Chain A
Amino acid sequence: MKHLIVIAFLATAGVLGAQSAISLAYFGETITHPGLKVGISFPLHQWEQRKMLRKGQEKVLDKRLDLSPQLGFYYHQDYQTGLFVLPELSYIRQNAKGNYTALGIGAGYMHTRVPRVYDFDTSGEIEQIGAGYHYFISNYFATFGKDLSVNKGIPLSIYAKPQLMHALPNAGKGIWYFALELGFSVKMSE
């Protein structure tokens, strides 16, 4: 399974060719349960929108659609550790000051491990067993960030990304998670 995840991640990245930005983020499941998330994002489509303001000034917005294969994990003590690969699609809207917001969705795979699970073996002795679940996951997020290359010339963006993640199949209608990502991305090419 571990090979499958790595291959899927690298294949997604490879197919898309030249890198645009690499991101690294703290991934907090319910904010406080720590994890990491890394990703590569590629602009699929970019365009510019110009708006005339009442004062006669022109407002320029850069818009783009990004595809970002992401790999991450989180550790929630006594509950589960989750490892996921999650390609995401984002619609980004950036103003002239470099401030941007984005809305997006993702869909991928997650494997969880449940800590310290015990059962009786056939002879009635206690044994510790490995336990975990395979999930199809989707996530729904908003991103609030700043592109520091616009005013400061640093090829870096910082962002906060609250999100809801849904995992299936699970008893009932799946499991929802709330997570907060705090990270930065480095531009690799223009």
Chain B
Amino acid sequence: MLLASILAFLLCNCSKETFEVDTASKTFFHVKNGDYLIPVLLRGNTASKKIILYVQGGPAGNTLDFATVDYPEWKNTLEKDYAIAYYEQRGTGNRQGNFDFGQNILQTYIEDLHKVAAFLKKAYGAEIIMMGHSFGGGLTLRYMIEYGQSGIPQKYIALNAPVTTDVSTASLRWQFRRAFLFNTAKLEISRNRKVERWNEVLKWLEKTPVIEKIPGDAPYQLMQQWNEYIEELVYPNYAEKNVKVRDYLKAIFFSPYNPIPAYLRKDFEDKGIGSLILQEEEDYVLINRLSKIDQQAVLLITGRYDDICVPEELSYVFEKIPSPEKQIKIIDEAGHDSFLHQAAEFNQILKSFIQ
């Protein structure tokens, strides 16, 4: 009898129901976009009528565990003032069913993003603020370019989002990175930190006016040297947060994740989705399209010591965006996870922009 009841419950064709707003501080649902069910975790202050739609970095990093273990530590800060929607990008996390990535993966990604934004706006009658970190920040800028004034969010935030790429805009990228190393050396010397080593960096930069691929057996040696300086002198001070074993256990055993597809990502690699995304970024040349961001309110943030989205590059991006509603903030003593390295300052900047 029990089993018969369970069978009936599980296999019935449920009739269509209207949506009822769940005002709980944490709610979970899926938004259907074509052949894909997009998992969304909405947490925080929904009564504020402001929802930050968080776009994960990666490419294709998982998002629900990021929220479950509260990696960005927003649960007791930003989420007290706003609701934050964490959604899983197509092909990441649990990825259920037979779905397609479309002809252009990044175009499909922003269509998913548009659907989630439209759903949140309609369901909660809320103002949507799209906020992407790193790769997600690039996706946010791409959304702004592609959707223009028909975009759902009223405001956009690109966190630590690099815009140049390794091939098509490599010379610009390395121009910014060289300037970053030079400016960082000057700053660190003025702050009396590892002066001797930083003076050696300045000497190397003096001998290396351009960082580029060179002929010979080791064409990438200048880039490698730059990386070595960064890994020795910059990154250790502004590293990613160590996730505790307790957090891993929580994500594996008590989250919406089935850990095998969520963490092994073998099919993602087998299909070469990550490589295709990088190729599409190369082909799109986002930095040449920034003039299309001519109306929207956008905040660009990076850390002064972010070696991925270097402030020199972000300042260039800021200049290229014509929108009168643009803002830029370079947070001192912060790296690629600027929201963690200087959390209080970061949160204050966000609140000022969102209000």
Contacts and interface: CB of A to CB of B under 8 A. Distances in A.
Interface of A: 1-2, 5-6, 29-32, 38, 71, 73, 76-81, 83, 111-121, 124-131, 133, 169-173, 175-178
A30 B122 contact: no
B266 A79 contact: no
Contact of B37 (A38, A125, A131): A131
Contacts of B30: 114-118, 131
A84 to B, nearest CB: 10
A124 B122 CA distance: 9
B17 A128 contact: yes
Interface stretch (B52-60, B75-83, B200-208, B250-258): B250-258
Contact of A113 (B10, B94, B259, B266): B10
Interface in B5-23: 6-8, 10-14, 16-19
Interface string B89-108: 00100111111100000000
11 contacts: A6-B4, A30-B257, A79-B94, A80-B96, A83-B7, A111-B11, A114-B96, A115-B29, A131-B37, A172-B268, A175-B261
A30 B252 contact: yes
A130 B260 contact: no
B267 A78 contact: no
B258 A6 contact: no
Interface of B: 3-4, 6-8, 10-14, 16-19, 28-32, 37, 39, 41, 91, 94-100, 118-119, 122-123, 252-254, 256-261, 264, 266-268, 270-271
Contacts of B96: 80, 112, 114, 133, 170, 175
A79 to B, nearest CB: 5
Given A118-B119, A133-B97, A78 B28 contact: yes
B286 to A, nearest CB: 27
A127 B18 contact: yes
Contacts of A71: 3
Nearest to A126: B19
Given A30-B253, A79-B94, A118-B31, A1 B18 contact: no
Contacts of A170: 95-98
B19 A171 contact: no
A38 B257 CA distance: 25
B256 A78 contact: yes
Contacts of B257: 30, 79
Contacts of B31: 117-119
Given A128-B19, A133-B96, A170-B97, A118 B258 contact: no
Contacts of A131: 30, 32, 37
A79 B261 CA distance: 12
Query: Which 8 residue pairs are nearest across A and B when measured between Cβ atoms?
Result: A172-B267, A78-B256, A126-B19, A116-B29, A130-B14, A2-B11, A176-B260, A128-B17
B28 A2 contact: no
A152 to B, nearest CB: 29
A169 B32 CA distance: 19
Contacts of B28: 78, 115-116
Q: Which residue, A73, A78, A124, A170, has most C-beta atoms of chain B within 10 A?
A: A78
A172 B97 contact: no
A130 B13 contact: yes
A170 B91 CA distance: 11
A120 B12 CA distance: 22
A84 B271 CA distance: 29
A53 B74 CA distance: 64
Contacts of A78: 28, 39, 41, 256
Given A2-B11, A83-B11, A127-B17, 12 more contacts: A6-B4, A77-B256, A80-B96, A83-B7, A117-B31, A125-B18, A127-B18, A131-B32, A131-B37, A170-B96, A170-B98, A176-B264
